[in-house]
């Protein structure tokens, strides 16, 4: 078998794999423009009424139980503030671990790496119980609040972020920091004026990876925020269309499409920087 045949086989296999991966998304788009009865009857057929997608969107925005706009704003607040905490805390932590050549630093890094293999399902119930205990003894409400969900995301997002920042920072010459120290900068000035601006590629990567996870996550918000709360994310709002006896599949799928659309747009705009940050963090 010559190289040309092998190349054609690989191209054909890639196309098939891409089509297989893209099929659920295409199915989502098709069924977002249909009625619930039409989806149940045959989910594979094309929509007969092109304006049905617009009607589904109007019904979503008019639904007071779902409150799409409010849920969108809540998701945006939670995502932005969680990312701020994750980026600042994990970058500073990675920098401190890298520049302090002590056994304790390696132990801390190992703990971060080990925590990446612990599934959230193992700690979600102890986390909720711990939140209840904190509220009981201190009066600080963490359940069903912005502060509680943002704190949780900040903690769970640290491990991977520290790992990525740590790998990228190895490429930063320590001489830059020594020169800034000679010029009279303290540790905070060295980090935020010298080190942090260099971290832009990996910062974008960390923000996108964590942002996609936070924006689309359902399990953690349902545990911390619950249903029927005035603070609800878009995945929780989408569940309100699913009842005990009737499921409005057209509204569920349309809401899902509206939820993932901002993430796709942001990823397409920043994909070059994401790839650059991942490659630099892995190689260097």
- The mean per-residue pLDDT over the stretch 198-208 comes to 89
Mean pLDDT, all residues of the chain: 88
DSSP code at position 47: P
Sequence ranges of the domains in the chain: 65-283
In the DSSP assignment, the letter for residue 46 is P
Q: What is the pLDDT of residues 12-40, one digit of tens each?
A: 999 999 889 889 899 999 999 999 888 98
Q: How far apart (Å, rounded) are the C-alpha atoms in residues 83 and 79? A: 6
Q: How far apart are CA 119 and CA 102, in angstroms?
A: 29
Decide which of 50 and 7 is more confident: 7
- Name the nearest CA neighbour of 153 among 205, 92, 219: 219
Q: Kindly report the pTM of this predicted structure.
A: 0.88
- pLDDT at 1 exceeding the cut of 80: no
pLDDT at 284: 47
Mean pLDDT (whole number) for 191-211: 91
Which CATH number does 65-283 carry?
Answer: 1.10.3720.10
Residue 13 CB-density burial (10 A; 0-12 exposed, 13-18 middle, 19+ buried): exposed
Mean pLDDT of 269-278: 72
Which two tokens mark 92? 């500073």
């Amino acid at each position: 078998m010559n190289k040309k045949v092998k190349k054609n086989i690989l191209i054909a296999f890639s196309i098939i794999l891409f089509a297989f991966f893209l099929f659920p998304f295409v199915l989502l788009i098709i069924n977002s423009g249909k009625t619930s009865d039409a989806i149940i009857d045959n989910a594979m057929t094309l929509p007969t009424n092109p304006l049905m997608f617009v009607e589904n969107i109007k019904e979503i925005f008019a639904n007071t139980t779902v409150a799409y706009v409010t849920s969108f704003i809540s998701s945006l607040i939670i995502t932005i503030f969680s990312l701020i905490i994750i980026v600042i805390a994990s970058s500073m932590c990675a920098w401190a671990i890298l520049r302090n050549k002590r056994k304790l630093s390696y132990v801390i890094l190992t703990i971060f790496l080990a925590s990446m293999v612990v599934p959230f399902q193992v700690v979600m119930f102890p986390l909720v119980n711990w939140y209840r205990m904190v509220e009981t003894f201190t009066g600080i409400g963490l359940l069903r609040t912005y502060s509680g969900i943002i704190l949780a995301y900040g903690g769970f997002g640290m491990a991977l972020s520290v790992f990525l920042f740590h790998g990228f920072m190895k490429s930063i010459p320590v001489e830059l920091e020594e020169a800034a120290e000679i010029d009279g900068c303290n540790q905070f000035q060295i980090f935020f004026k010298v080190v942090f601006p260099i971290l832009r590629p990996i910062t974008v990567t960390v923000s996108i990876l964590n942002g996609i996870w936070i924006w689309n996550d359902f399990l953690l918000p349902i545990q911390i925020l619950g249903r029927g709360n005035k603070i609800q994310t878009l995945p929780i709002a989408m569940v309100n269309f699913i009842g005990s006896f009737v499921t409005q599949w057209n509204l569920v799928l349309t809401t899902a499409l509206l939820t993932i659309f901002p993430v796709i747009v942001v990823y397409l705009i920043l994909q070059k920087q994401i790839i650059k940050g991942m490659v630099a963090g892995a190689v260097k």
